């Protein structure tokens, strides 16, 4: 009697894993449905004023389009669905092979494999708009220097923020579920196991990244809503005080809608007009301040979608695969190598190492250590790495232009502001991550992210201090706060010496002249 060969693969393990990923797709679909249901009622929550326009311009991009955060959540669900389909197809293949039902190939398995419905991408429209000005605001308009009443809806903004937070929590909970799902095939002897595990690891990574973006969207809504409410409360207080002073405290009406029975009479007197002019100027400053702070908040919005692009890059092979089983083209090494190779084709040779270090924290650490950079600076560089949720091609798209990295304007000084002096402070300690042919220095020990260096910078490290010789006549030293750049916040202090022609003086020349030592 013939002895059956040992079965190296248990199809039921692939089936169990497939069912777990199908369940994950369903869970993510339901989480997305809940989010969309709440956000669907958030139209016209931003307001019609300048701050509202700034908010809606940035926020709407996060919720609309094929590259939106909502699309990113759908992608994660569909990636789980695709995992379920491929794992189930593998189960069918192995069952056929084990039972000798038919000659079975990766492209022609017998049996009925899963074919799941994809999660669609939803667009919600614009949040711009609001109820408009409150009653009697018209009578104050001539005193507020043309500013528009901030009519954003703090309640809707809070609800939207809560919905994003709930979505983030749900995605993080599924991070562990992915590990549990893929663990079912860990002990199977099949070439499909490694690429399947690698794709599951990608899903885990990007669930966390997109959850972080959901947190950022929540913070955007909550912070803007808080500022709108605070501004409106302050405006109401000013109008209340105006009425109290001019009509003896006889204020009638709701403060938040600024309805006051005696407002017309108050503004018809000389004293009322004078006081209203002062109050109007103050209210105008409040509204302008809201617009400024909103602009600052919205600067972060450009980074919210980076994890979505990174997920699309890493999971592109999985989502585009027409095969019925996992191939080695889906291994992590193959996916990442292909992405890096495509990005490197767009860069000159001198920039290759920088991009490779930007996407590989271990390589960046190794190079910084080799260049003598202090450990605390290295540790901070790795911990604050802004490219962890970006593919190599995303980095090039965002930070490379016309043959060079996109350096910030104003020589890297925040808002173009710096202090000029004709002397360097005595005993000033400086450092530089870069050759002495460059001109810019940092206060010694400045964290890596506060220097706003180009991606993957890992050049030689030098320390300096003020030398015995003064600056020549006509030379100046400029120092000021570093502007944010390349996904880093900046915030450190940079120093540069300029000669009488306004040219930056290299560090090597400062050393030669004894200005630095």
Range list of H helices, 248-269: 263-266
- The verdict on residue 6 lying in a domain is no
Q: Within this chain, do residues 368 and 308 fall inside the same structural domain, yes or no? A: no
249 or 160, greater pLDDT: 160
User: For the segment 437-474, what is each residue's pLDDT rounded down to a tens digit?
Assistant: 999 999 999 999 999 899 999 999 999 999 999 999 99
- The verdict on residue 198 lying in a domain is yes
Q: Within this chain, do residues 166 and 264 fall inside the same structural domain, yes or no? A: no
d(CA 41, CA 351): 47
Q: Which domain holds residue 388?
A: 349-516
Range list of H helices, 325-372: 332-344, 352-358, 361-370
- The verdict on residue 341 lying in a domain is no
Q: Within this chain, do residues 156 and 41 fall inside the same structural domain, yes or no? A: yes
User: For the segment 312-338, what is each residue's pLDDT rounded down to a tens digit?
Assistant: 888 888 887 665 666 666 666 777 788
Phi/psi class of residue 434: alpha, beta or left (left: φ > 0; alpha: ψ in -120 to 50)? left
Q: Within this chain, do residues 48 and 181 fall inside the same structural domain, yes or no? A: yes
| Per-residue confidence (pLDDT) for residue 327, from 0 to 100 | 65
Positive or negative, the Cα torsion across 499, 503, 504, 506?
A: negative
As a residue count, the chain comes to 517
pLDDT over threshold 60, residue 297: yes
Helix and strand numbers (H, E) in the chain are 16, 8
Nearest one of 111, 80, 115, 79 to 94, comparing CA atoms: 111
Q: Within this chain, do residues 419 and 479 fall inside the same structural domain, yes or no? A: yes
pLDDT over threshold 60, residue 108: no
> How far is the CA of 337 from the CAs of 29, 328, 334, 342, 501, in angstroms?
31, 12, 5, 9, 47
User: For the segment 175-186, what is each residue's pLDDT rounded down to a tens digit?
Assistant: 999 999 999 999
Q: Within this chain, do residues 403 and 509 fall inside the same structural domain, yes or no? A: yes
118 or 105, greater pLDDT: 118
Question: In the 8-state DSSP scheme, what is residue 478?
Answer: E
d(CA 304, CA 219): 11
User: For the segment 376-420, what is each residue's pLDDT rounded down to a tens digit?
Assistant: 999 999 888 888 878 899 899 999 999 999 999 999 999 999 999
Q: Within this chain, do residues 493 and 431 fall inside the same structural domain, yes or no? A: yes
- The verdict on residue 398 lying in a domain is yes
Q: Within this chain, do residues 467 and 371 fall inside the same structural domain, yes or no? A: yes
d(CA 127, CA 43): 4
Q: Within this chain, do residues 308 and 282 fall inside the same structural domain, yes or no? A: no
User: For the segment 195-219, what is each residue's pLDDT rounded down to a tens digit?
Assistant: 999 999 999 999 999 999 999 999 9
Active site residue 494: yes
Q: Within this chain, do residues 383 and 471 fall inside the same structural domain, yes or no? A: yes
- The verdict on residue 336 lying in a domain is no
Positive or negative, the Cα torsion across 188, 191, 192, 195?
A: positive
- The verdict on residue 130 lying in a domain is no
- The verdict on residue 201 lying in a domain is yes
Count of structural domains within the chain = 3
User: For the segment 135-177, what is each residue's pLDDT rounded down to a tens digit?
Assistant: 767 777 778 888 899 999 999 999 999 999 999 999 999 999 9
Among 18-22, 240-244, 343-347, 488-492, name the one with the lowest average pLDDT: 240-244
Q: Within this chain, do residues 455 and 371 fall inside the same structural domain, yes or no? A: yes
| Active-site choice (432, 450, 451, 488) | 432
pLDDT over threshold 80, residue 339: yes
DSSP 404-449: EE-PPSGGGBGGG--EEESSPPTT-EEEEES-TT---EEETT--GG
Active site residue 513: no
Q: Within this chain, do residues 454 and 313 fall inside the same structural domain, yes or no? A: no
Burial grade of 300 (CB within 10 A; 0-12, 13-18, 19 or more): middle
Q: Across the chain, what does the average pLDDT equal?
A: 86
């Amino acid at each position: 009697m013939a002895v059956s060969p040992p079965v190296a693969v248990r199809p039921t393990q692939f089936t169990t894993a497939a069912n777990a990923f199908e369940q994950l797709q369903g869970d993510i679909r339901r989480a997305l449905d809940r989010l969309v249901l709440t956000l669907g009622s958030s139209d016209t929550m931003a307001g019609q004023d300048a701050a509202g326009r700034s908010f809606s311009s940035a926020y709407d991009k996060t919720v609309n389009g094929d590259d939106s955060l909502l699309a990113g959540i759908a992608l994660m669900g569909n990636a789980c669905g695709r995992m379920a389909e491929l794992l189930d197809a593998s189960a069918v293949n192995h069952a056929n092979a084990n039972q000798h039902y038919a000659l079975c190939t990766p492209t022609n398995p017998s049996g009925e494999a899963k074919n799941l419905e994809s999660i669609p991408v939803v667009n919600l429209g614009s949040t711009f708009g609001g109820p408009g000005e409150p009653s009697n605001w018209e009578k104050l308009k001539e005193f507020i220097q043309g500013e528009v009443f901030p009519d954003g809806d703090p309640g809707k903004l809070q609800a939207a923020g809560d919905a994003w937070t709930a979505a983030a929590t749900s995605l993080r909970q599924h991070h562990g579920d992915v590990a549990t799902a893929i663990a079912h095939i860990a002990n199977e002897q099949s070439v499909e196991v490694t690429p399947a595990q690698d794709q599951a690891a990608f899903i885990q990574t990007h669930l966390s990244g997109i959850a972080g973006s959901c947190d950022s969207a929540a913070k955007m809504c909550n912070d803007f809503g808080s500022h709108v409410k605070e501004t409106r409360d302050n405006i109401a207080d000013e109008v209340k005080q105006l009425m109290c002073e001019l009509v003896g405290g006889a204020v009638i009406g709701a403060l938040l809608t600024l309805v006051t029975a005696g407002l017309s009479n108050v503004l018809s007197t000389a004293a009322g007009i004078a006081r209203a002019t002062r109050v109007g100027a103050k209210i105008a400053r409040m509204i302008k301040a809201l617009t400024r702070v909103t602009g600052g908040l919205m600067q972060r919005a450009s980074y919210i979608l980076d994890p979505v692009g990174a997920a699309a890059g890493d999971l592109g092979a999985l989502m585009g695969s027409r095969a019925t089983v996992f191939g080695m083209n889906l291994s992590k090494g193959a996916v990442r190598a292909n992405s890096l190779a495509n990005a490197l084709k767009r860069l000159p040779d001198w920039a290759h190492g920088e991009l490779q270090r930007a996407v590989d924290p271990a390589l960046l650490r190794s190079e910084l250590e080799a260049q003598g950079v202090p450990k605390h600076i290295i540790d901070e560089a790795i911990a604050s790495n802004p490219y962890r949720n970006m593919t190599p091609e995303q980095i090039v798209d965002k930070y490379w232009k016309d043959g060079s990295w996109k350096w910030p304007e104003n020589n890297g000084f925040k808002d173009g502001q710096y202090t000029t002096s004709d002397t360097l402070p005595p005993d000033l300690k400086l450092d530089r991550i870069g050759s002495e042919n460059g001109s810019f220095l940092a206060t010694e020990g400045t964290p890596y992210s506060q220097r706003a260096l180009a991606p993957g910078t890992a050049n030689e490290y030098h320390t300096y201090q003020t030398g015995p010789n003064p600056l020549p006549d006509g030379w100046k030293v400029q120092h000021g706060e570093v502007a944010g750049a390349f996904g880093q916040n900046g915030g450190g202090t940079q120093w540069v010496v300029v000669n009488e022609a306004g040219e930056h003086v290299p560090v090597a020349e400062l050393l030669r002249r004894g200005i630095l030592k």
